[in-house]
Copies of this chain bind each other. A is one copy, B any other.
Amino acid sequence: MTDRRFMRRAIELATAGIGNVSPNPAVGAVLVRDGRIIGEGYHREYGGPHAETDCIRDARVRGEDPRGAVMYCTLEPCSFRSPTKHNPPCTESVIEAGITRMIIAARDPNPAVAGCGVQALRTAGIQTSCGLMEDQVLTLNESYFLSTAVRRPQVHLKWAQSLNGRIARAEGGKTPISGPEALRHSHGLRATVDAILVGRATVELDNPSLTARHGVSPARQPLRVVLDPSLRTPISSQLFQDQAAKTLILSGALNDESLTQAAALKRLGVEIVQLPVQEEGDFDPADILDALYERGIRSVLVEGGSVTHTGFLAAGLWDRLTVYIGPTLLEGNVLAPDAPGPSIATVAHEVDVLGDTVAITGMNPNTRRVLDGLKWETAPQPQTAGCVLPQEEAHVHRSST
C-alpha cells in the first residue's frame, strides 16, 4: 500500500493546480528513495514548469540526487517538442535525471503523447508501470481528459428546483429555492470551470454577476458567456458593467441596429463572437461549444435558463448535471428543463445534503464511456512508428508558452 500512499500524495499536489492550469491538466509528482520522499512537485500554473521538472528541481533544492529514485506521477509524461511549447519533453528530464522507475496513474489522451511517453521511458530502460489510482486522476482532471477526447468543453448543467420540479413561481419574481449552503456549493462549481454560460433571458430576469464568490476565490474568474442571438441584452446589465470577469457574447449576424449595441459593449471590454442562428432563432449547441473550445475553454457551467438547458440536453451535448432541490413546493408550470428524446439514466451519482437543500449530481452515461475508453486498459496502444519523436513538431494540447 506504500505505492498508493505516494500516489495519493502526488494527487494531493496536483489538486493545488486546479483552477490555474487549464487548458493543461493538473499534474503532481513525487520522488521517492528507500521509502522516503526526496522531492515533490506539481504543475503550478499554465505556462510554468511541468510537475516532473518541478519535482526533480525540488529534490535538488533539498540536496537530494534523483539518480536511482522512483517517480510517482499522476499523468503520463509528455514526450514531444513543439514551437508553442517551451518546456522540454518531460520524458527527457526524467531520463536525464537518472530516475530508474516510474509509476504513472493516468494515460495522457493528448494524441501527441497517448502512450508515447511511456514508450520513450521504456526505450530508455526505465521500469514503468501504469494505472495506479487512475480513476481518481481521471476524476480530478475530468474536463481535461474529456475535452481532449471529444474536442469540445466539458458541459456541466446546473439548476435549482422545488420539491415538485418547478424552478420558479408561476407569477414570476425571484423565489429563493435553495439555502446558503447550496449557494456556497454552487459557487464552488463556478470556481472549477473555465466559463459560465447563460441565455439572454436569464440575464434580463436575474441580472446576475456570474462570478465565483461566497467563500470561494478562484485564481481567475471564469469567462462569462451570454447567448444573445439578436444582441439585445440591456447594456446596463451588471455583468457588462462590473468588470469583475471577462465577458463574451455569442450573437447572430450584426445589423445596423445591433452594430451600435456591439460598439457600446466593446467599449466596456465585452467581446462579441458571431455564430449562425438556426431557424428557431437560437444557436446550435455544437456551434456554441466549438466557439468556446477554440478560445481554450475546456469546461463550461451552463446555468440556464430552462430553454438553454433543454437545448444542450436535446443535443446530447452535456456531461454532468447538478440539480439543487430546495425544501419548497411551488405552483404553476415554470418547469425544470425538458429532456427530449428517450429517457436517460444518468450514472455516477453524488448526493450532497446542503442544509435543507439536496444537490444531486449525475453523469451522462456517454461521458462515462468516453472517460472509461481513455484508460490504459481500453485505450489503443501506440505503434512505435506512430509516436512523434521529441525533435519533431506535434499538434499540441498540453502546451506551455
Contacts and interface: CB of A to CB of B under 8 A. Distances in A.
Given A164-B336, A351-B358, A362-B163, A331 B343 contact: yes
Given A329-B339, A351-B358, A346 B169 contact: no
**Which of A165, A333, A336, A347 gathers most chain B CB within 10 Å?**
A165
Contact of A343 (B325, B328, B338): B328
B353 A351 contact: yes
Interface string A308-346: 000001000000010101011111110111111111111
A19 B172 CA distance: 45
B323 A331 contact: no
Contacts of A343: 162, 169, 175, 328-331
Contacts of A345: 327-328
A161 interface: yes
A356 B348 CA distance: 8
**Which of A175, A328, A331, A337 gathers most chain B CB within 10 Å?**
A331
Interface of A: 161-166, 169, 175, 313, 321, 323, 325, 327-333, 335-347, 349, 351, 353, 356, 358, 360, 362
A344 B329 contact: yes
A349 B353 CA distance: 10
Nearest to A332: B338
A329 B313 contact: yes
Contacts of A165: 161, 164-166, 335-336
Given A164-B335, A175-B343, 7 more contacts: A164-B337, A165-B165, A325-B360, A328-B344, A331-B341, A351-B351, A358-B360
Contacts of A330: 339, 343
Contacts of A163: 321, 323, 336, 346, 360, 362
Contact of A327 (B162, B175, B349): B349
B164 A327 contact: no
**Which of A323, A329, A336, A347 gathers most chain B CB within 10 Å?**
A329
A327 B362 contact: yes
Contact of A339 (B164, B325, B342, B358): B164
8 contacts: A164-B338, A325-B325, A327-B345, A327-B349, A329-B339, A329-B343, A329-B346, A330-B343
A344 B163 CA distance: 10
A323 B164 contact: yes
Contacts of A175: 343
**Which of A321, A340, A344 gathers most chain B CB within 10 Å?**
A344
Contacts of A325: 325, 360
A349 B161 CA distance: 16
A334 to B, nearest CB: 11
Contacts of A342: 331
A308 to B, nearest CB: 14
A85 B279 CA distance: 76
B339 A331 contact: yes
Nearest to A165: B165
